[in-house]
Structure 1
């Protein structure tokens, strides 16, 4: 079967997903696009011959839409995700699932009422080959337990509209989810430290920051979020085991050796770095929808990540950088 897909949100990320579904993947067809900006919806939909809607209600209610991709701003995700659940339609929602734990709980309640897992959150790093190799080494158990994980999330620059909070809820949220998935346990404490600021930041921005997290078993995680690096989009991770250290080697494309030295090309954007992961994520989702099955991260994963974000933001906003407990409800059996 061909899965007929509707997109809510015709911005850059949404358009990238339209292109990948049409040009790089199989089994899916874009049939509708909705955006409050009518002209944006039209320009995004036209190349694919898709219908245009001005509201998400119209798109979700279209009987010719089998499944929905949501690529709008995080703060408006929750109502549209719940609409999809109530319509019985699978939905792939870009991160974050919602910007408050309360909205995530409402989504989980709606899903449990529906009696079926319908929501996948767009944490695409779970589909990255290098992270999966790292997870396989850990789970093999030959090098003992995980003790520490060091992460670096570096952007060449960010727009002036980027805020200090976004360093947590838009940037570090990727590492937050990836660490939960990699280690297989919840993050229970978090602190955000403020090192010396870069002169390349906008005046309102705290940059860089270091997010320090602890899991249930005591694994210490640190994440350097440094978003005005100037020279690359650089994602790094080192997992420290009892008898080994496992590092991602994913920045290396090709090496050039010449009079200037031995160097390799660096990624310049998240699309550049994670194109393969995005494609695997979407292909697996399309395949699962065609089988009437859920795949990927769940609403619980979205809720747990947002709860860690809440604690991290509380630490960031207190200049003493306190260690803040992460508050989680009991995990429903539905998501076990």
Structure 2
């Protein structure tokens, strides 16, 4: 395909707007922003005007079915992801789907069943840490084999602020799903047991979580510790560490200068996620566009999204019951091997 892939973006709020910007400002080689869809007419028009886009829609079926749209990027609310992914597949159009794949395991399973029935991968899920240099470099070092077996995975994921109390379901499904996928990807193994605990938001219902801690056990016996803080107060930070038989490999993602002045030592930290993962968001779309051009799928698959949701639901159950939850082993469909 000599011409760039014409992408339609469904949902142009915070995340969708960021993706639309990367496409519209020419940051994604091999792809261009062709159309936008959002129920918010003013927002939709503003994004279209900013990027010189003529095709605007307020119905998903219209943008999915439009003959001048080659592929879709879905950044709609989480609860619509599975439904929209299915509509894209049924229309025969590849889709970049923001995480999570779905908000329930049965919905995620329906997406996987449809894609496996088609016989080739059409979905890339937006687990952008696979394209983040810090994560990639840690994994590459571990993959050399020089440090022996992977023994422990640690992940910290801290937001600066959040205006409202968040439920444990929202925290794990929307945010910690990233950490869960990172654990599976970087440890190259499946999670078979989880134990979750949460600290409720101050003065809020016990069903909320300001901080959530997940302990996981992998199939090969390795362990994991995943921490998420909804409002740590100081900035946005995501780091990872893998302890091996012979060495510990740790990411350091704060690349700003260290300032020593007036009896203080300080270093600036990104205020929010687009600052921390801006390059990764761009690179995942570049890889997606290249995979469509080459007809060779890449990146996180629908199966990755499905397995992440299996672990998500087990974690939520564990937090609510106060008990460890075992996760059965699943046979990976041949499409995803």
Q: TM-score, normalised by structure 1?
A: 0.94
Q: How does 1:237-276 map to 2 (within 5 A)?
A: 237-276=240-279
Gaps of 5+ in 2: none
The CA distance in 2 between the partners of 1:57 and 1:263, in whole Å, is 51
CA contact (8 A) 1:96 1:302 kept: yes
SS at structure 2 position matched to 1:194? strand
Tell me which of 95, 100, 104 is aligned to 1:96. 100
- 1:147 counterpart = 2:148: no
The corresponding residue for 2:41 is: 38
Residue 295 of structure 1 aligns to a residue whose secondary structure is coil
Distance 2:296 2:45 in 1: 31
Q: 2:238 aligns with which of 218, 235, 238?
A: 235
Q: 8 Å contact 2:237–2:269 — kept in the other structure? A: yes
Shift of 1:161: 5.9
1:86 aligns with 2:90: yes
Q: Does 1:14 align with 2:4?
A: no
CA distance 1:20–1:260, change in 2 (3 Å): farther
Kept in 2: contact 1:88–1:114 (CA 8 A): no
Does residue 165 in structure 1 map to residue 166 in structure 2?
Answer: no
Equivalence for 2:62: 58
Q: Which residue of 1 aligns with 2:335?
A: 334
- Check the 8 A contact 1:9/1:70 in 2, yes or no: yes
TM-aligned CA deviation for residue 323 of structure 1? 0.7
Distance 1:22 1:301, change over 3 A: same
User: For 1:93 and 1:221, how far apart are their aligned partners in 2?
Assistant: 27
Distance 1:37 1:149, change over 3 A: same
TM-score (normalised: structure 2):
0.94
CA distance in 2, matches of 1:99, 1:292: 29
Question: SS state of the match for residue 117, structure 1?
Answer: coil
Q: Using a 3 Å threshold, how does the CA distance of structure 1 residues 38 and 84 change in structure 2: closer, same or farther?
A: same
Q: CA deviation at 1:144?
A: 0.8
Contact 2:116 2:333 in 1 (8 A): no
Q: CA deviation at 1:138?
A: 1.1
Select between 105-114 and 22-31 the one with higher mean Cα deviation. 22-31
Q: CA deviation at 1:75?
A: 1.0
Shift in Å, 1:71: 0.2
Give the distance between the partners of 1:83 and 1:6, measured in 2 at CA. Answer: 14
Whether the 8 Å contact between 1:67 and 1:289 is mirrored in structure 2 is no
Measured on the aligned residues, the alpha-carbon RMSD in Å equals 1.6
- Counterpart CA distance in 2 for 1:327 and 1:76 is 27
- In structure 2, the residue matched to 1:48 is 51
8 Å contact from structure 1 (residues 105, 303) kept in 2: yes
